Chain A
């Protein structure tokens, strides 16, 4: 009964909240508009926009020594999560069956284990920093912790479900993932999409002034 609910109506509900929520959050920010700059630019703003979206993946050498832990943990978590999300065998199957109608080659089991370990280690390190470092502690709100806990639980139940082949674990994993989808547009998890715009606008403004941001 619960499994049917999770696999059926609750899935459609959470997916709808996710899509509508993300679109609305972006729409409400975009509709504010930005004044059209009139000063003579030194470099094209659009080139700066695109450049910074990509160059910001690599921290500047000047700052790297001060952010080593965050960069390593951040990459471990994000790359691990990306691999799990798009290349774990059950996920590929899910996209094929329930969303896209086609699939791709999933990663082997050993790669799944490595990705999961990277993602867990990264997430825990980032969360420990969040609670222990006075700066991120003062900035973090309940939403940041809820987001982290939900992601952690989704990953944990996902790994357990794959290791134990138990359907109730699969259902629990799916249910938590649906909760995460619902929570997503209300939280700073939105940075998954907004980072392109925030980096882009910064890069565009700096490029007009002739500075590579």
Chain B
């Protein structure tokens, strides 16, 4: 079931329309700056403060960032994205504040407007720059705090705002809510698939994502086939099926909490010991690493990325796949949020090895892989498209050098960004999801 490019175009048009719906904030500038500063101060913890204190302004972090590497524009040097935080720390939290207040400029609305592009369009919070920094500065952690401050000052890009608001207020994304999910499941049931939905008890709660419902239907079908093949006790939940968490990407803790809570409640309701998120990059760290922090206690279930689950089942001998053979030359794109941020790097390779394909590793790959440019919700930002596409040129070079015929990944956002990039650059390298590949090759 290949991706319907018309649906993909429709999806992109929907995103384009969101961009035209912006309405200027009605709050006075002073209040917006104050709220942004307050949020920045809340985010300033020891880890961030020592980063700001340790940076020697060498600029090496630029050499790891896809936005700098592709444009060579010094404005995009990663640590510069934290400049406002540094100023604020000096003026409000560090020692000798009275002195720094005399020598360091206060933050203004103009600053926030300038930095808005830097922390949204020009940063996918991919964490690659922290691998090169000799001081170990965690730029992405600071950018996440900056995004939260921008949100508080009504400076979040309009597309993210609308999508995040929709998820938080209605529980739906792009018009897909519980009812639409149920309908999608009914349609698939009509095609003969057995699909547990809203089971009162299940060991595993499987999540889906709006992208799988609208676009990557093959991934949804494959997920169901794989779970049935294993014979696990599993269910979908019509109340907590969505993996995507726009609050996580936008830096809005309330939204993030609301989205995670739906999944949490659904998992607790059916007594699931395991929750498997969909192939939706950020969804994994949002629940696996942030979930416990949001709820103030360890999660009562384990959270797995699909690749992690597939590898585990293959190794345990419960998931049996047909070897595809070496004639299929593939390269694997490690999504930042699953690999570098999530820590799932070996698992997809275990799966690809079981499938017997000719895996052509790209350079770099694994935790050092280059971001596709669309992560952290950036795929939605219309005005960021030229920059994103410029960064995508690095991906084209990276995979052309492998000699692979196609690319496999385990993130819908990455897939969409690759598809958009392929359209823009007339680059003919198909991309598919790992789950779909496994689903098509069950033994």
Interface of A is mostly: helix
A52→B135 CA distance, assembly (Å): 10
Interface string of B34-46 (1 = CB under 8 A from A): 0000000000111
CB distance from B281 to the nearest CB of A (A): 14
B93 to chain A, nearest CB (A): 7
Shortest CB-to-CB span from A201 to chain B, Å, is 4
Indicate which residue in B56, B289, B302 contacts A209 across the interface (CB closer than 8 Å): B289
Cβ of B386 under 8 Å from chain A: no
Q: CB of B27 within 8 A of chain A? A: no
Contacts of A203 in B (CB 8 A): 136
A135-B62, A213-B136 known; A34+B47 contact, CB < 8 A: yes
Contacts A194-B53, A195-B54 given: A202-B132 contact, CB under 8 Å? no
Does A46 sit within 8 A of B, measured CB to CB? no
Please tell me which stretch of B72-80, B228-236, B394-402, B409-417 contacts chain A, meaning at least 4 of its Cβ atoms lie within 8 angstroms of it. B72-80
Question: Chain B's nearest CB lies how many Å from the CB of A72?
Answer: 13
Within 8 Å by CB of B59, from A38, A133, A206, lies: A133
Query: What per-residue 1/0 map shows which CB atoms of B59-70 lie under 8 Å from chain A?
Result: 110111000100
Other-chain residue from B131, B290, B293, B363 in contact with A63 (beta carbon distance below 8 A): B131
Quick check: B47 and A201 within 8 Å, CB to CB?
yes
Interface size of A as a range: 35 or more
Residues of A close to B138: CB separation below 8 A? 198, 201-202, 205
- Please give the distance in Å from A59's CB to the nearest CB on chain B: 7
**Is B58's beta carbon under 8 Å from chain A?**
yes
How far apart are the CA atoms of A56 and B293 in the complex, in Å? 28
Q: Which of B46, B68, B72, B138 has the largest count of A CB atoms less than 10 A from its CB? A: B46
- Once bound together, how far apart are the Cα atoms of A39 and B55, in whole Å? 29
Spot the interface stretch: B15-23, B206-214, B253-261, B340-348: B340-348
- Interface flag for B51 (CB, 8 Å): yes
- Which of A34, A37, A202 touches B136 (beta carbons < 8 Å)? A202
Residues of chain A from 153 to 208 with CB closer than 8 A to chain B in the complex: 186, 188, 190-191, 194-195, 197-203, 205-206, 208
Assembled-state Cα–Cα distance A62/B363 (Å): 8
At the interface, yes or no: A16 with Cβ under 8 Å from chain B? Answer: no
Cα A194 to Cα B48 with chains together (Å): 11
Q: Bound complex: CA of A24 vs CA of B58, how far in Å?
A: 25
Query: How far apart are the CA atoms of A136 and B62 in the complex, in Å?
Result: 9
Interface residues of B in 289-338 (CB under 8 A from A): 289-293, 296-299, 302
B151 in contact (CB, < 8 A) = no
Q: Are B60 and A70 in contact (CB under 8 A)?
A: yes
A74 touches B134 (CB 8 A): yes
Bound-complex Cα distance A195 to B54 (A): 6
User: Can you name the residue of chain B whose Cβ is closest to the Cβ of A55?
Assistant: B136
Contacts of A1 in B (CB 8 A): none
Q: When the two chains form their complex, are residues B80 and A138 in contact, meaning their CB atoms are under 8 A apart? A: yes
A96 within 8 A of B: no
Report 11 cross-chain contacts, Cβ distance below 8 Å, ordered by A residue.
A25-B53, A37-B293, A59-B132, A66-B60, A130-B57, A139-B59, A195-B135, A198-B54, A198-B137, A209-B342, A213-B131
User: Which residues in B have some Cβ–Cβ distance to A below 8 Å?
Assistant: 44-47, 49-51, 53-60, 62-64, 68, 72, 74-75, 77, 79-80, 93-96, 130-132, 134-138, 141, 285, 288-293, 296-299, 302, 340-345, 363-364, 367-368
